[in-house]
Amino acid sequence: MTIFEVVAEPNRRRILDLLREGERPAGDLVAALDVGQPTVSRHLRVLREAGLVAVRPDANRRLYRLQPERLVELERWIEPYRRFWGGRLDALERHLDTLSSPESP
In angstroms, the CA 87 to CA 81 distance is 10
pTM of the model: 0.76
- 7-43 pLDDT per residue, tens: 999 999 999 999 999 999 999 999 999 899 999 999 9
Is residue 105's pLDDT more than 80?
no
Question: Domain limits of the chain?
Answer: 3-68, 71-100
Our separate counts of H helices and E strands in the chain read 5, 3
**CATH code for 3-68?**
1.10.10.10
